[in-house]
Amino acid sequence: MKDTITIYWSSSLRDPSPPDQWYLKEPEPVKNYFVKNIPEDKNNSDMGFFGCPAAGAFLKNLFTFKANKNDKAVWPAGYLKSIANQYVGPLDNYGNNVTLRQSRKSAIDGYIDLIYDINYVMFADKPLTIRWSTPNYPPSAPSPGAMLISGEFDIGRWYRPAVLNWFVPIDNTEFEVKEGDDLFYFQALTDSKIVFQKFIMTDQIRELAQSFLRSIKRDGTGLTLEERYQIAEGRQSQESILAEIKKNLITTPYDHSK
């Protein structure tokens, strides 16, 4: 029988106000996009893609989080360019209904580093490395030429918020998320079955994530991922985090393999 790993997940606004569950839309397997778009006339279509082992390996345990409302920010021409190397913090609102902030001075010429006003938190009941990447089935970006900052880490050994962070071209004037857009992909790098369990983000759970990030920034600059995992495990934080999460479950576990 295949081993099962449960991913406990939630989301949080950077500056939350109750109710803070607006963003909680279930993750979906990316393969659903292809299943929903199979041509009615299969006889005049080449269905070889669905049997391709390379494509199958890419889609294995690959999931997407989708937006469930519309958000749009519009700035005057030249605004992003004028602030790209000036400061770190929230952008001027200009009447927009979405909060964006510059997280750091950009590492790439011609871009500004922007964070969308939402954090996702995923914590697995066993060691599990996930790869965080930009959507490409179909391609999705909130601003023309924007690049999602991608990476991977073990969500069973390191409890931390994962932010939606893009390099946005400094000549752009709009940032728009539409309901149903893919926000980000994540792939569970395992042969195990993945089960999702949603929980309510509480102040205590949020603070557990933020406090560990603060301690890493203070004590762990330059550490490798493995060294950061060892710090977390040395503090035995996983047990207390998982216990608090289990007090705040809001759905029954959902198995996407069904």
d(CA 242, CA 125): 8
- pLDDT tens for 134-162 read 999 999 999 999 999 999 999 998 887 78
Beta strands in the chain (DSSP E): 4-12, 28-29, 62-66, 71-74, 89-90, 100-104, 111-124, 129-133, 147-148, 151-154, 161-169, 174-177, 182-188, 193-198, 254-255
Is residue 124 predicted with pLDDT exceeding 80? yes
- Name the band, by pLDDT with cuts 50, 70 and 90, for residue 184: very high
pLDDT of residue 20: 46
Mean pLDDT computed over every residue of the chain: 83
Q: How confident is the model at residue 189 (pLDDT cuts 50, 70, 90)?
A: very high
3-state secondary structure of 98: coil
CB count in 10 Å sphere of residue 133: 16
Model pLDDT, residue 119: 76
Q: Is the dihedral of CA 194, 185, 164, 67 positive or negative?
A: negative
Is it the case that residue 63 has pLDDT exceeding 80? yes
Q: Which residues contact 144 (CB under 8 A, 6 or more apart)?
A: 169, 172
* SS3 readout for 127-167: CCEEEEECCECCECCCCCCCEECCEEEECCCCCCEEEEEEE
Whether the per-residue pLDDT at 188 is higher than 90: the answer is yes
Question: How many Å is the Cα radius of gyration of the chain?
Answer: 19
More confident residue, 205 or 87: 205
Q: How would residue 204 be classed by pLDDT, with cut points 50, 70 and 90?
A: confident
Q: Residue 133: which of 166, 178, 176 has the closest Cα?
A: 166
